[in-house]
Amino acid sequence: MKRFGEVRAVAGVDFEVREGELFGFLGPNGAGKTTTINMLTGLARPDAGTIRIAGIDCSKNPKAAQHLMGVVPDESNLYPELTGFDNLSFCGSLYGMTRHDREARAQDLLEHFGLTEAAGRKFAGYSRGMKRKLTIAAGIIHAPPILFLDEPTTGIDVASARQIRQLIADLNANGTTIFLTTHYIEEAERLCQRIAFIVKGRIVHIDTVDALMHETDGRHVVQLAVSNNASELCDQIMAEFPSLQCRAVAAGNIRVESSEPVRVGPLVRLVEDRDAEVFEARRIRPSLEEVFVRVTGIEVNAMKQEKEKAKMGAGA
């Protein structure tokens, strides 16, 4: 639990992250994500409760736990006056790495992150995407077994975000346990094995991505791409199969929903009997975004816009 004056920033946060897992922590602005990360990493002290990282009680011995972790904050906070290479080397020295080890590791990371050419340039002159990549590289310079990533792709261009997501996936595949906070639902869906939803300082749901999807998956949805008259076909499908619900979605597409698995054969036959053609039939899984909206009652687009605006404001 964590209070700031009268405000209870975090309360009722109880979770466990397994070794080697990529764990997502999702929530809107002000939900308590960064406060939770700060408490886990030793930048904030909880008012009540316990935090254990690799068996170490962080409230009693935060420095021992800090040996095991790398932290990438939500802002790229390296030293603007140092070059990319010097920043990495300096960060390595904070973890007691010898000059030879940290310089070799810095070279490797710069190459891996595609920043070799910018190694000698000052951090202040980097683009937003390059800054983010170098900040992640600084977080893993000492090859920590645990990595905290706070909003790693917020406010950067699509190509850099894509590259960073791949880097995160690679790190996890190589055994790094990752705690990722993000407000990009699709990012969490793509990367994480388990996800916790946090709203107003409380975890409201926590489960594997598959299980989260399955929970709302009481509905079975099939989408058919048809040649013509989608609305009319929908009416006919519902008349013929009363247990199905059908609606026309995008042009030439109909979406059929049922509480039971949908048999596609009779549907295709019905459509063809009406002198129309079926070009494609596919099962639609509910997105994690839909799950998030249902569980938290928060509109995802509003959350994204709010965060981007805050980020741009801070960067301006």
Partner 1 sequence: MKAWIAFWNILVKDMRSYYLKPPNISWGLLFPLVWITMFLVRSGLGIESLPSLLPGLVGLSILFGTTSVLSVTVTFEKKGRSFERLLLAPISLEVLMLAKTTGAILFGVANAFVPLLVGSFLADLSGVNWATLIPAVVLIAISSTFLGLFIAVSVKEVFEAQTFSNFFRFPMIFLCGLFFPIGQLPLWLRPLSYVLPLTYGADVLHGSIHRPPHMPLVLDFGLLAAFCAVLFGFSLRNIQRKWIV
The residues binding partner 1 (CB under 8 A) are 4, 41-45, 63-64, 66-67, 71, 73, 75, 77-82, 90-91, 93-98, 138
Rank residues 138 and 164 by Cβ distance to partner 1 and give the closer one. Answer: 138
Rank residues 2 and 183 by Cβ distance to partner 1 and give the closer one. Answer: 2
CB of 293 to partner 1, least distance (A): 32
CB of 50 to partner 1, least distance (A): 17
DSSP-H helix ranges across 84-207: 84-94, 99-112, 128-139, 158-173, 185-191
Q: Which two tokens stand for residue 262?
A: 């949908």
Residue 150, Cβ density class (10 Å: 0-12 exposed, 13-18 middle, ≥19 buried): buried
What is the DSSP secondary structure assignment for residue 143, as one 8-state letter? -
CB of 62 to partner 1, least distance (A): 9
Rank residues 65 and 185 by Cβ distance to partner 1 and give the closer one. Answer: 65
Q: For 81, how many CA atoms within 13 A lie in the half-sphere containing its CB?
A: 0
CB of 44 to partner 1, least distance (A): 5
Helix, strand, or coil here: 208?
Answer: strand
159 phi and psi, to 5 degrees? -65, -45
CB 14 within 8 Å of CB 36: no
CB of 267 to partner 1, least distance (A): 57
Distances, alpha carbon 242 to alpha carbons 217, 234, 258, in Å: 20, 11, 10
54 phi and psi, to 5 degrees? 50, 40
Rank residues 99 and 283 by Cβ distance to partner 1 and give the closer one. Answer: 99
Rank residues 91 and 195 by Cβ distance to partner 1 and give the closer one. Answer: 91
Rank residues 43 and 239 by Cβ distance to partner 1 and give the closer one. Answer: 43
* Closest to 194 in 3D by CA, of 208, 215, 182, 180: 208
CB of 271 to partner 1, least distance (A): 59
Rank residues 140 and 256 by Cβ distance to partner 1 and give the closer one. Answer: 140
CB of 304 to partner 1, least distance (A): 23
CB 177 within 8 Å of CB 146: yes
* H or E stretch covering 246: strand 245-248
